[in-house]
Structure 1
């Protein structure tokens, strides 16, 4: 472990720590007023996030110590996919999860609430990278035999996520799978056939669920429809479905270039409910200003681009696909969150990476960062060994 620490990639680790520190400060600022009004400690949510951050650092250390070949074993993949199915079926089919905001996608264990759909991101990246890296030589000649099972497995996970319903999570997994297929080197035609197969499988299965449910499922999706309807003009329904988006606009407008000052947000005082989650970036702009918001985005983009660079230079197809998947997952989550608060796309409940409050999302993102750090260290070690001059004994 000591030898491995010399290969740690600070271009990934430092941005990760900086973003989390900024996130904890903004979570405290965004949540303290409402907590104080409810008679609770203004530090309670921020302290919970700090606890999740410490747990995340320990998880990163554990992943960093693990050899990457462990993740490339059939046993590990079978256990990981099996656990993912159990968690998704528990919430989507058996109804064992908690319902929040019209969606049943949370599981509560010992006071810790997490979303199984968050961990599907990890499963999709590791499983797809495992399959595609092992079948690179046969995928062009035996395409359907090589890709049919992954399409069914990933497609069924997307379906289970949609049933919850979690449109944002389903979109992230779908696009992530498409990116990994494109990055694997298989012909573009095969890639889009595979992606089309996922859409077809998910669509047909979804129609079966609708009819078997006596058309009751669409009523469960009424809040999703409302979110789509409000995108065109949030101000047309500013007292109901457009309430959050309108106040998000006000927060961004109030921030201007340099912000109102830390802790001086107006919109967090009852105008923007649960500001520490989906709309944390709106409060960040209001308090710290557009320039600081751009700096935060710059730090995040720097980390994403560096992880991509590690993936492109990797000597292993598995390592390369995992890094590309990690960078893509963070990027997709960022774009969907920003698109939601700017009303470019409907709000889907996707948090801002490393800034939004939420234990399951932070742990998921941290696991991905841990994988990227492990791969970077492994590639650096291989590179050093490759370029190390041969030892010649003295005569």
Structure 2
């Protein structure tokens, strides 16, 4: 007698699969998204009303991005990981990424001195953001396959193609010019290479060499007049002497200092920021943490950074626990992405780094950033759910027995 077979539709199977959900990933992610929606609304409503716009315009957009981001988490959490390693997916994603980075230099829209946005009707895409996730997935696969063949990635011929693609893509990002996106993508590549083939010589060389090369390039850029004139010049001058240019290029940083000072320990209260009312340009993007500091104070900023740190530490822990080098590298690359982006944004707000136009993860307004970060979280969730499933020693979520028919 044939046994009864229970099959579930794909969506039902996905919901059933979510019982292995990692709430140490999901809860911080949702908390940061909710805080982002609130702070985008708080920082943009006043200035939008002054300019004759709708006070809820950015609120609706950011909430829509957050909903789409949650959908990305659910989708990638249930997507078979083997699909992301197929030759067809990697080939097409490489071609699409190259096309987007190249075409944005021709028809892209310039924002804050960088020609890095593609306008597709009501949708604006930032290819440099999607390149971060591309590097994580592509290099993780190439490095893992090299190790499966018993070779060190950096010592094998398998490294030539991926590193050449990476160099070309980085140069295309730098040509926009998007120095923040260039630095974050470069940091992702370096950390993943060290995680795959760590050797003391490589590690020490990267720690010493990367800042040295950066300083050398900066010095040569100043000598050659690269910073003379234009938006790059203004940002560099503002970083070196903000109060000496308080009425010009240094106004953003000076008003950021005022916002942080006004907030103190406990803040002036949600919605009560002064600096967002025309003093701090674009308070809902690059300098949203300055407005958050003014309204929620040091306590609020500490809580937000603590929640983000918990999310990053959980991602690293998932990578440490994984028995798959491919999964481990994805986790380390994603954690690097979030950490470096946070460091650049906070560094710009505090004036310890030049303003690079880097957003704060999950908090700043922006669709490209939200979708890329959410997709990365969904992939990490997928890896963690596999670990939970293996640890609980349960079978496949489908209940299948002999005589299953079709």
Work out whether residues 151 and 194 of structure 1, in 8 Å CA contact, stay in contact via their aligned partners in 2. no
Instruction: Name 1:108's counterpart in structure 2.
Output: 119
Residue 69 (1) aligns with residue 87 (2): no
Q: CA deviation at 1:39?
A: 1.6
Residues 344-389 of structure 1, C-alpha deviations (whole Å, 9 max, x = no match): 11000000100100111111111111111111101211222289xx
Between 288-297 and 133-142, the greater mean CA deviation after superposition: 133-142
Alignment of 1:120-135 (within 5 A): 120-135=131-146
Residue 20 of structure 1 aligns to a residue whose secondary structure is helix
Residues 173-196 of structure 1, C-alpha deviations (whole Å, 9 max, x = no match): 111101001111343445788999
Match of 1:96 among 104, 107, 127: 107
Q: Judging changes above 3 Å, is the alpha-carbon distance between structure 1 residues 328 and 158 closer, same or farther for their aligned structure 2 residues?
A: same
Instruction: Name 1:8's counterpart in structure 2.
Output: 21
How large is the Cα RMSD of the aligned pairs?
2.6
Instruction: Name 2:197's counterpart in structure 1.
Output: 185
Q: Judging changes above 3 Å, is the alpha-carbon distance between structure 1 residues 32 and 81 closer, same or farther for their aligned structure 2 residues?
A: same
Alignment of 1:1-395 (within 5 A): 1-92=14-105, 95-136=106-147, 137-140=149-152, 143-189=155-201, 218=226, 222-385=230-393
Work out whether residues 265 and 297 of structure 2, in 8 Å CA contact, stay in contact via their aligned partners in 1. yes
Residue 99 of structure 1 aligns to a residue whose secondary structure is strand
Between 296-305 and 67-76, the greater mean CA deviation after superposition: 67-76
Q: CA deviation at 1:229?
A: 2.6
Cα distance in 1 for partners of 2:383, 2:291 equals: 35
Q: Judging changes above 3 Å, is the alpha-carbon distance between structure 1 residues 8 and 288 closer, same or farther for their aligned structure 2 residues?
A: same
Residue 323 of structure 2 aligns to a residue whose secondary structure is coil
Residues 193-246 of structure 1, C-alpha deviations (whole Å, 9 max, x = no match): 8999999xx9xxxxxxx9xxxx9x958983223322322321011111101000
Work out whether residues 22 and 384 of structure 2, in 8 Å CA contact, stay in contact via their aligned partners in 1. yes
Q: CA deviation at 1:96?
A: 1.0
Residues 282-314 of structure 1, C-alpha deviations (whole Å, 9 max, x = no match): 000100111111011100000100110000100
Cα distance in 1 for partners of 2:312, 2:197 equals: 21
TM-score under structure 1 length normalisation: 0.89
Cα distance in 2 for partners of 1:154, 1:141 equals: 15
Residue 350 of structure 1 aligns to a residue whose secondary structure is coil
Cα distance in 2 for partners of 1:240, 1:309 equals: 45
Residue 355 of structure 1 aligns to a residue whose secondary structure is coil
Cα distance in 1 for partners of 2:44, 2:322 equals: 42
Between 303-312 and 149-158, the greater mean CA deviation after superposition: 149-158
Work out whether residues 118 and 364 of structure 1, in 8 Å CA contact, stay in contact via their aligned partners in 2. yes
Residue 239 of structure 1 aligns to a residue whose secondary structure is coil
Runs of 5+ consecutive residues of structure 1 not aligned to the other structure: 203-209, 388-395
Residues 310-333 of structure 1, C-alpha deviations (whole Å, 9 max, x = no match): 001001111111011111101110
Q: CA deviation at 1:79?
A: 1.2
Q: Judging changes above 3 Å, is the alpha-carbon distance between structure 1 residues 111 and 385 closer, same or farther for their aligned structure 2 residues?
A: same
Q: Judging changes above 3 Å, is the alpha-carbon distance between structure 1 residues 153 and 141 closer, same or farther for their aligned structure 2 residues?
A: closer
Q: Judging changes above 3 Å, is the alpha-carbon distance between structure 1 residues 25 and 188 closer, same or farther for their aligned structure 2 residues?
A: same
Residue 20 of structure 2 aligns to a residue whose secondary structure is coil
Cα distance in 2 for partners of 1:312, 1:266 equals: 44
Q: CA deviation at 1:89?
A: 0.4
Instruction: Name 2:398's counterpart in structure 1.
Output: none
Instruction: Name 1:393's counterpart in structure 2.
Output: none
Between 10-19 and 186-195, the greater mean CA deviation after superposition: 186-195
Q: 4+ residue runs of structure 1 moved beyond 3 angstroms? A: 137-142, 188-199, 217-222
